[in-house]
Amino acid sequence: MIRRAVQDGIIEVAVTDIRSFATDKHSMTDDRPFGGGEGMVMKPEPVVRAINQARKEKDHGRVIFLTPQGRRFKQQVAGELAELDHLILLCGRYEGIDERIQSYIDDEISLGDYILTGGEPAALVIIDAVTRLLPGVLGCNDSARLDTFSRGGLKYPQYTRPREFAGQKVPDVLLSGDHQAIAEYRLLAAVAKTKEKRPDLLKTMTFSIEEKKILKKNGLL
């Protein structure tokens, strides 16, 4: 999907090598931390030069530092970023980047409470999550609109052929052709699945007035 989005001109992806903005003969982008401690810290000069170059090439752009201290990346954040014209994803390495880059960034995002060897895998995740929300990327626009987390919770269970597998049958309602009944079943199934597997998400789910009536009638709200 990402390759097709690039080929169709829906998105452009460019990689900026921070190392190419170092000025010493060894192209050093990191150094030992002041005060001592483990590891190395990325130097501010080449990072800022790389940011400024990326901004110049695409008329400014929103600079997002991928760091554990950032706000948690969620589907809603992906939707927010999909509204922007130009994202500059800054990938840290080693023990991080010199704190003095803070005045050159606009946002900080974290994928979760774990550490990667660098910000590049996180950047790929964000590119993928944001790109699939853009018009024309997915074959069916409803795929993104009705995704897991689109309303705050999990998506309803999905089934395909065969109708019976290992003694398990597809729910009859999905074979009925009754679109209203199917929609109601999927609403109830999505909430039940969220309640079972991710109850922490229930408080973030959003429903219409009619959906709330259906959920209350079935004891799920």
SS3 track for the chain: CHHHHHHCCCCCCCCCCHHHHCCCCCCCCEECCCCCCCCCEECHHHHHHHHHHHHHHCCCCEEEEEEEEEEECCHHHHHHHHCCCCEEEEECECCCECHHHHHHCCEEEECCCCCCCECHHHHHHHHHHHHCCCCCCCCCHHHHHCCCCCCCCCCCCCCCCCCEECCEECCHHHHCCCHHHHHHHHHHHHHHHHHHHCHHHHHHCCCCHHHHHHHHHCCCC
Q: Around Cβ 27, how many Cβ atoms within 10 Å?
A: 13
Q: Is 132 one of the annotated active-site residues of the chain?
A: yes
Q: Which of 33, 44, 55, 95 is catalytic?
A: 95
Q: Is 38 one of the annotated active-site residues of the chain?
A: no
What single letter denotes the amino acid at residue 102? Q
Q: How far apart are CA 49 and CA 27, in angstroms?
A: 13
Q: Is 161 one of the annotated active-site residues of the chain?
A: no
Q: Which of 49, 55, 62, 132 is catalytic?
A: 132
- If you compute the radius of gyration of the chain from its CA atoms, what whole number of angstroms results? 23
Q: Is 46 one of the annotated active-site residues of the chain?
A: no
- Look at residues 115, 108, 102 and name the one whose alpha carbon lies nearest to residue 89: 108
Q: Which of 108, 147, 157, 198 is catalytic?
A: 147
Q: Which of 33, 44, 68, 157 is catalytic?
A: 68
**Residues assigned a catalytic role:** 68, 95, 132, 147
